[in-house]
Amino acid sequence: MRARIFPGQGAQRKGMGDGVFEEFSELTARADELLGYSVAELCLEDPEGKLRQTRYAQPAIYFVNALLHLGAQGEPAGFDYFAGHSLGEYNALVAAGMLELIDGLALVRQRAEAMAGITGGAMLAVIGLSREQVESLLLSEGVAAVYVANWNSDRQVVVAGDRTGIRALGKEAMRSGAAKVAPLNVSGPFHTPLMNPARIEFDEALARCAFKPGDVPVVSSTTGEIVDPARLRELLSTQISTPVQWVRTVRTLRGLGVTGFSEVNGATLTKLDSEID
C-alpha cells in the first residue's frame, strides 16, 4: 500500500512550485484573487522576503503542495492513504476529497492570519533525544511555559513556548546529550496551549466551511488516527494548540499496511520517516 504525505510550515523555499503555476493557470488566478497577491511571484521570486512570515508561508506551501499533487495524478498507481504534517493535513483532506482546494486555501489563509497574531514565543528542534527524555527535562528542570509541540521522529522533538524558557531548555538538552538544538524560524509557540487565542479566532472560519465524506482515508497528524469527517471542525481547531503526532501518524500508516511513502514538495517528512521505528 502507498501513502502520499504533505509537509507543513518549514518546507517553504524560494523557487518552489516552478512550472506548476503555468500548468494550473486557472487555479493560480483564483488563488491570486483570494489572497490579494501573486502566489507565483511570492514562491518563485519572494522579492520582499515574505516567505519567512507565517501569514504568507502557510498559503504558499499549501497551494504548491496542492498543485504538485495534481500534477502527479498520472502516476502508475493511486494512493491508499493520505496524511500531512500540521498545515499539510489540509492538503491531505483536499487530496482525499473531503475539502475543495480553493475552500482549503481560504481556510489556510485565515489560519495563517490567526497564528501570525500570536507573537513573542519561540520553537526549538531538539535532535538526538527521545520524546521521553525531553519531557523529563521539562519536568525536572521546571522550565516554565514550554511544551512539546512536534513529535517528529524518534530522534527529533520540537518544543515551543516562552523565549526565555526555550533558551533554558536548549542548554539543558545539550548538557543531557542532545546532538543539536536548532531554533525554528517562526514567530509564535505553535501547537501549544499558548495558541488558544488563535484557535478561538479560527473557529469562526471553520464554522463556515463545508466538508465532505471523502474517497480515501486520511490519518491525522493531530491524533495519529484515521480522520472522522464528521469531526473535522473539532480536529482542525484542536490542531492549532496541541502537539503534532507525526510518529504516531507514521506508525499507524505502517500498521495499516503502508510500505511506500510519496512526499510532495521536498523530502522533509521522508527523512523523519526513516528515523521512526
Q: Is residue 86 among the annotated active site residues? A: yes
Rounded CA separation 46/13 (Å): 9
Tally the residues of the chain: 277
CB of 156 within 8 A of CB of 126?
yes
Beta strands (DSSP E) in 102-220 are: 121-127, 146-151, 156-162, 180-183
Question: What's the CA gap between 70 and 233, in Å, rounded?
Answer: 25
Counting Cβ atoms within 10 Å, is residue 100 exposed (0-12), middle (13-18) or buried (19+)? middle
Which residues lie closer than 8 Å to 230 by C-beta, 6 or more apart? none
Question: Considering 85, 86, 220, 241, which one is annotated as catalytic?
Answer: 86
- Catalytic-residue membership of 191: yes
One of 69, 85, 153, 191 is an active-site residue; which one? 191
Q: Catalytic residue positions?
A: 86, 191
